[in-house]
């Protein structure tokens, strides 16, 4: 009887899965609102960094949650909710990037490489105009560098470095082995290093690369 009254795993399990299960089975609006509130920030962060534009990131985050609700019946409680949600968000980002690429093929409006509006916004606790200007320039350089990374590398960087997913979790989301995630991360960091070279005055001039066998994927 006591075992039925107190189920220990239910006390410590992640609430996301239970909330999503309520959304799926009972169409519980409150549970869905709780999920949106909990995940809006990370999903906007992912979309913003994948697209390089905050306004588009916000739009895509809204689209992600709309699609999440529309696909609530395909959610399986045996899987992690976060993996389910990240995949939806990534697919929406990929779709948007494909649209941008198609538009770029037919017009001069390209990816947001020169779109300062809505791309970078900073918190109010700035240290002063000069320091803020420097920070803005650095942030813009990073944004540009990220956008120049191939998408498979950019995804790994955003999910690992900014959103804090483990390499194994990224592998689950993207559908590749953990080792491949790590090798893509190392290659992404190497490419970023080359792209951001002007920001690295303290780096030695001649960096010896790792031996080839250590970079084999």
Partner 1 sequence: MSNTHPTAEDWMSYLYGEDAPVRHLELEAHLRACPTCRNQVEQWRHSMRSLDHWSDVRPRRKSWAVEPALRWAVAAAVMLGIGIGVGRLASAAPRSAQLRELVRMEVDARLNAAHAEFAQILERRQAEMAQKLQAAAAQAGSEEARQVLGDYAKVLDEQRTSDRQAYLAAFRQLDERQRAEVGNLREALQTVALNADDGLNRAQEQLLELASSPRSTSP
Q: Which is nearer to partner 1, 105 or 130 (CB)?
A: 130
Q: Which is nearer to partner 1, 105 or 201 (CB)?
A: 201
Write out the residues near partner 1 by the rule CB under 8 A.
1-3, 5-6, 11-12, 14-15, 38-42, 44-45, 48-49, 54, 57, 120-123, 135, 138-139, 141-143, 145-146, 157, 160-164, 166-167, 179, 182-183, 185-187, 189-190, 192-193, 196, 199-200, 202-204, 207-211, 213-216
Torsions phi, psi for 206 (to 5 deg): -115, 100
Q: Which is nearer to partner 1, 2 or 108 (CB)?
A: 2
Ordered DSSP codes for 134-184: HHHHHHHHHHHHHHHS-HHHHHHHIIIIIT---HHHHHHHHTS-HHHHHHH
Beta-carbon contacts of 10 under 8 Å, excluding residues fewer than 6 positions away, are none
C-alpha distances in angstroms, 48 versus 10, 66, 129, 203?
A: 35, 17, 25, 29
CB of 107 to partner 1, least distance (A): 27
Q: Which is nearer to partner 1, 27 or 179 (CB)?
A: 179
CB of 105 to partner 1, least distance (A): 28
Q: Give the distance, in angstroms, between the CA of residue 104 and the centroid of all CA atoms in the same chain.
A: 23
CB of 65 to partner 1, least distance (A): 14
End-to-end CA distance of the chain: 54
Instruction: Report the C-alpha gap between 8 and 43 in whole angstroms.
Output: 31
Q: Which is nearer to partner 1, 30 or 41 (CB)?
A: 41
CB of 71 to partner 1, least distance (A): 21
CB of 74 to partner 1, least distance (A): 23
């Amino acid at each position: 009887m006591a075992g039925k009254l107190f189920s220990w795993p239910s006390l410590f399990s992640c609430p996301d899965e239970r909330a999503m299960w309520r959304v799926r089975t009972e169409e519980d609006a409150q549970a869905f609102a709780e999920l949106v509130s909990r995940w809006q920030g990370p999903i906007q962060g992912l979309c913003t960094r994948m697209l390089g534009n905050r306004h588009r990131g916000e739009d895509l985050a809204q689209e992600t949650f709309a699609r999440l609700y529309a696909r609530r019946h395909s959610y399986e409680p045996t899987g992690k909710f976060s993996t389910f949600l990240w995949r939806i968000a990534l697919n929406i980002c990929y779709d948007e990037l494909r649209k941008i690429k198609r538009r770029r093929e037919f017009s001069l409006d390209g990816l947001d490489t020169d779109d300062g509006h809505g791309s970078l916004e900073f918190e109010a606790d700035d240290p002063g105009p000069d320091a803020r200007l420097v920070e803005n320039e650095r942030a813009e350089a990073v944004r540009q560098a990220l956008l120049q990374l191939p998408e498979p590398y950019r995804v790994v960087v955003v999910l690992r470095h900014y959103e804090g997913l483990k390499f194994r979790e990224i592998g689950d989301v993207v559908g590749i082995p953990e080792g491949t995630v790590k090798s893509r991360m190392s290659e992404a960091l190497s490419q970023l290093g080359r792209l951001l070279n002007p920001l690295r005055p303290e780096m030695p001039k001649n960096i010896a690369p790792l031996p080839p066998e250590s970079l084999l994927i």
